Structure 1
Amino acid sequence: VKGLSPEHQEKLQGIIHDHLRSTNAYSAIRAFVRDYLSSEEGIVHDEDKLLSALHEKRVVEQLLGSLGRDQASSSTPLASKHDSLSRGGKHLHLRFGRASAFLDCLAESGAPAGGTLIVHVLALGQRFTSRPVPAVAEPNFQDFSCLISFPPSSSAPLELLETRDPFHIVVVQHGDDDDSVIVGAQTIEWRKVLVSGYLSVHVELAAVGGDSKVSTGVLSLQMELLPRVEGKSAVDEAAVKSQIKSERDRDADVDRRFFGMAKAWWKEYLSVRPEHAARAVKIFSRGDDDVNRPVCSFLEPIEAGRAIRTVGEAARFVSLLEYQRIQVLGGTSGRSEAWADLHSVLAGRKGDVEEHALLLCALLLGFDLDAYCVIGSTQAGEPHMWVLTLHSPDPAQPPQATLWESLTGSRYTHVQSAPPSHKYGRVGCVFNQKSFYANCQQDDSVKECNFDIRDERLWKHLDASLVTALPRRQPAPIVMHSSQSHQMEEALEASLKQLVSDHRRDTGLATHWDSHLAFLLGGALYSYEAERVTGVASGAVEFQQSIRRAVPDGFTFKGFPIHFSHLSSHRMLRDLLRSKVASDIISLHGGVQQVRFALRVYIAPYPERVCAVWAMLAVIYARIDE
């Protein structure tokens, strides 16, 4: 239709209008709307509910059928578009509309605060991301839709009814400086769509970080099952409600039994030594949905596939996610005690120390390592969480313990009683998706800790059968996005060079760039990133040799490498100017014969559009003999 001239569009509309009027299609719709509005359901005039009812009563299908199309292929244009997919099983089409009440996207003046919004969807182990749209109070997501595939083994409606994993939706706001903030998140129960094959809902987003009762926006969402359910193939509404209630009752029973066991276990733990009450033993934590859950239920192994190839890359990837201490209003600590869903962490590309540790542990579990999250404190007494892996080459000997810092990607081999090279002070408990152990040792310092969790004199464990029975969500897969890192490097390098040149020009200084020297800097940046991944330094000798040959006699080389996890050249310049070494380089005086600058940028792409960005600003300048 878009390709037709206005005259042809008007003519086509007239033909359709005459045909629908001649077939009494308009009369059928008016009769339905009149009956709907006179019913109790129609007391509240809601456009989406009305459209949903029209679909359920097959009015739209009959209308399209009057145009001469086959009934089976005319349920929606999308049904025919994905007909080839539908033959292989069931699919669920999610279509977003115009949202509302995104008041945090407004400045104090009432005007849009700027930036963009992106919707992230996790559904049945599949992830979808919308295109960015302007961040306004009523953002328009109408161009965003996703087709969710059900497992081939779950093609019948009754089998789909037993697929209980809810959908998780996150909306992220991105600023102009490559910064991001999670606007809100919500889980939705999708199985009501099995009744008629079509469902229209409004999803009220909740703030994350312990403020889940605060509404941050409302999404409009339509769901349609493909191919459409027909007659006896549909699921009765009572069956859907019964299934959901049965699952909730079952989960509640598991939670009750776990809570009863944990209560008795805690009394036994305190009877061993009363001072255990002051240790960092955390059996429950609040999720970002404000529900208290056992900490073990926050973990599930994540297999990253080809996105992350080694455990070193896993640690490096997690460390590149921005560390954000979640603050809340009021309270004694001023920080949130809620643990965010890992899908929210991946969508926002940031998290608190607990989310970093949970994600790293989940990835190491995916590599089939014996990994655990550790809850304890630093040597300074600050609450902290890190990761532990155990390796037992000789079952007769205590396992070898390695401590992983998720915020930096560093790892430390633990040797009991040896002077520590890390910041960890005390350990209260360790846990993963299958087990929970509390430290029973008289000295709870990490330095003196024996991590042989098999020894019941040293560690008290919860009943593993109740831990594994806990309800939990399907983990979010890691997504590797296509990246043109070379083009990104060139663009970022050019932008940062221009900013440095402009800054010097504002102080009356000219800037001359040396492309060959910039090329030599690249090898060092690549080695820095490789060292962060492997823990092994290399390439330093060759880099020093090449620089010595490139620097003329009577000149001095000075370089300043720096690491970023964002792509904002303006933020990079601000960080450079805050460093005395870099600021001294930028402020050097001299003409082209005395001072030549170089800048090199290296970008190492990781999953989830996360990047390790290395930059080196360097200068060759003539020495002044005193």
Structure 2
Amino acid sequence: MMIEKHEDHCLESCSVHLYVRKNWLGSIVFPFSALLQQSEFSDQIDVLHRAQIFKKECKALFPNRRIIATVFNDEGIHLLVTRYIKALNPPQQLLDVFLHDSNATLDLIARFVSLIPFITDTSEEYDGSDIWMTSERCISLAIGNKEEHAILLCNFFLYFGKKALVLLGTSVLEGHVAYVLTEETHEYLLWNPLTGQCHKQFDPFCPLQSVDCLFDDRNVWFNIQQNNTPMAVQFDYSKEIFWKQLFPKNFQGTEAQSIQPEEIIYYDTNKNMVEDLKNRIERNLKCKIMEWRPKHPTCWNRQCTSILRQILPKLELDTGSFVAFEEESEFEKLLQFYWVTGFPIQMPYTNVQSVIDAVYQTGIHSSEFPQTEFALAVYIHPYPNNILSVWVYLASLARHQ
């Protein structure tokens, strides 16, 4: 600080004397790590701005196709979708089931993801306010939206070294969907994370209607092909004639750290709790079925119920497909005396009422055939972190006249 001072005894013609005096005003310390974070933050602002421009350009080309390049995390921080993709470990319990069959293990992992209850997004997609949780939080809360399911399944597949990306599009059955695309040796596979089903690209029964956008941990690709149906799409996203990419090759702004953890920690589900829940669901269903039949008596066939209870665990282990079981001979004995109608229902557990609603919608309880008997069995298969697979087998038995 410079101070100008005139001496009192000096004439006005005297020269001015300048003095230097040091006054302590305070200090500010900038840690080097903070400077690095500030630099990274500035880079991310540039990248996010680039992503917004990219989205507008894509919408100008194909207004009806889906494109998501940025979202908010559960702390309100604006992020690129690429930061959600990272190889993550599935539960060890699933890895130990099929030790020598990698394909069966992948199917089981897809099934596990499909058992996480699904919630719809409360915000409109096109206003740019999507909020996505990390895969770890999705599992810890045992709930997630379509995109969070797809990201979780994609991250599990990456753990196995698969070449996997998240696919955004539309479905005939579900509207807006998020699938997982895996690149195999000679084909592409499309995985629905909400059902656990896998379809080949040219499968005519695949419900996927359009392929609009892909993203992995490094880039986002928008489909600019005129025909975006799965059978017609060229999935080689390295070709710019088919796919518009957010970042050009060797772009330096995509090295931002993933927001996913290094690994996911799982805990075992309490088996006593599962048994209590199974008994409670069974009791509630029996009471409801009798309520739904106020004008008719409801008789329970214990023999058939015993058979159904033995069948359900085997259906879970075989993911619900047909298997030859030992109880078939006992069923044949029943068929000598009864006309049996029924089928198993499988669903992720959310609450007891959802199970009751699913059984009611089958309409099996409404049988007015004289002397109808019923059989009911409930089975719950526990997975880690209180993720449950609920099975209900309801059958009606009418005696042959």
- TM norm. shorter chain > 0.5: yes
Task: Indicate conservation of the 8 Å contact 1:356/1:407, yes or no.
Answer: yes
> Aligned residue for 1:3?
none
Per-residue CA deviation, residues 556-584 of structure 1 (Å, 9 max, x unaligned), is 22224222322755543343233312x22
Q: Distance in 1 between matches of 2:228 and 2:287?
A: 55
Q: Note closer, same or farther for the CA distance 1:278–1:569 as it changes in structure 2 (3 Å cut).
A: closer
Amino acid of the residue matched to residue 492 of structure 1?
K
Per-residue CA deviation, residues 455-500 of structure 1 (Å, 9 max, x unaligned), is 3432344245546511322426151414427x83476246524651
Q: Note closer, same or farther for the CA distance 1:459–1:346 as it changes in structure 2 (3 Å cut).
A: same
Q: 1:618 aligns with which of 367, 371, 395?
A: 395
| Residue 250 (structure 1) shift | 3.2
| Residue 316 (structure 1) shift | 0.7
Q: Distance in 2 between matches of 1:538 and 1:499?
A: 25
| Residue 259 (structure 1) shift | 4.2
Q: 2:70 aligns with which of 261, 284, 287?
A: 284
> Aligned residue for 1:312?
107
Task: Indicate conservation of the 8 Å contact 1:496/1:570, yes or no.
Answer: no
Q: Distance in 2 between matches of 1:571 and 1:260?
A: 43
| Residue 360 (structure 1) shift | 1.1
**Coordinate RMSD, CA, aligned:** 3.6
Q: Which has the higher contact order (CA 8 A, sep 6+)?
A: 2
Task: Indicate conservation of the 8 Å contact 1:425/1:447, yes or no.
Answer: no
1:425 aligns with 2:206: no
Helix, strand or coil at the partner of 1:548: helix
| Residue 279 (structure 1) shift | 3.6
> Aligned residue for 1:559?
342
Q: Distance in 1 between matches of 2:319 and 2:389?
A: 10
Q: Note closer, same or farther for the CA distance 1:323–1:336 as it changes in structure 2 (3 Å cut).
A: farther
| Residue 244 (structure 1) shift | 5.6
1:152-551 matches, within 5 Å, as: 242=31, 245-259=34-48, 262=51, 275-276=61-62, 279-309=65-95, 310-328=105-123, 337-379=130-172, 382-392=175-185, 399-415=186-202, 420-461=204-245, 462=247, 463=249, 466=252, 468-475=254-261, 477-484=264-271, 488-489=274-275, 492-493=278-279, 496-497=282-283, 499-501=285-287, 504=290, 507=294, 512-532=299-319, 537-540=321-324, 544-551=328-335
Q: Distance in 2 between matches of 1:622 and 1:509?
A: 16
Q: Note closer, same or farther for the CA distance 1:467–1:608 as it changes in structure 2 (3 Å cut).
A: farther
Q: 2:386 aligns with which of 609, 616, 620?
A: 609
| Residue 423 (structure 1) shift | 2.1
Task: Indicate conservation of the 8 Å contact 1:567/1:613, yes or no.
Answer: no
Q: Note closer, same or farther for the CA distance 1:260–1:292 as it changes in structure 2 (3 Å cut).
A: closer
Q: Distance in 2 between matches of 1:366 and 1:489?
A: 33
Q: Distance in 1 between matches of 2:350 and 2:82?
A: 36
Amino acid of the residue matched to residue 423 of structure 1?
P
Q: Distance in 2 between matches of 1:260 and 1:360?
A: 29
Amino acid of the residue matched to residue 352 of structure 1?
N
Q: Distance in 1 between matches of 2:72 and 2:288?
A: 49
Amino acid of the residue matched to residue 448 of structure 1?
A
Q: Distance in 1 between matches of 2:356 and 2:173?
A: 33
| Residue 300 (structure 1) shift | 1.5
Q: Give 5+ residue unaligned stretches, structure 1.
A: 1-237, 393-398
Helix, strand or coil at the partner of 1:447: coil
Q: Note closer, same or farther for the CA distance 1:516–1:478 as it changes in structure 2 (3 Å cut).
A: farther
Report how many aligned residue pairs link the two structures: 361
Q: Distance in 1 between matches of 2:174 and 2:344?
A: 32
| Residue 607 (structure 1) shift | 2.1
| Residue 387 (structure 1) shift | 0.8
Task: Indicate conservation of the 8 Å contact 1:372/1:430, yes or no.
Answer: yes
Per-residue CA deviation, residues 44-70 of structure 1 (Å, 9 max, x unaligned), is xxxxxxxxxxxxxxxxxxxxxxxxxxx
Q: Distance in 2 between matches of 1:474 and 1:352?
A: 17
| Residue 439 (structure 1) shift | 2.3
Task: Indicate conservation of the 8 Å contact 2:346/2:392, yes or no.
Answer: yes
Matched-pair identity in %: 21
Per-residue CA deviation, residues 150-200 of structure 1 (Å, 9 max, x unaligned), is xxxxxxxxxxxxxxxxxxxxxxxxxxxxxxxxxxxxxxxxxxxxxxxxxxx
The alignment's TM-score, normalised by the length of structure 2, stands at 0.76
Q: Distance in 1 between matches of 2:391 and 2:198?
A: 21
Amino acid of the residue matched to residue 183 of structure 2?
L
Amino acid of the residue matched to residue 47 of structure 2?
F
Q: Note closer, same or farther for the CA distance 1:332–1:341 as it changes in structure 2 (3 Å cut).
A: closer
Q: Distance in 2 between matches of 1:502 and 1:600?
A: 14
Amino acid of the residue matched to residue 458 of structure 1?
F
> Aligned residue for 2:4?
none
1:13-32 matches, within 5 Å, as: none
Q: Distance in 2 between matches of 1:298 and 1:324?
A: 19
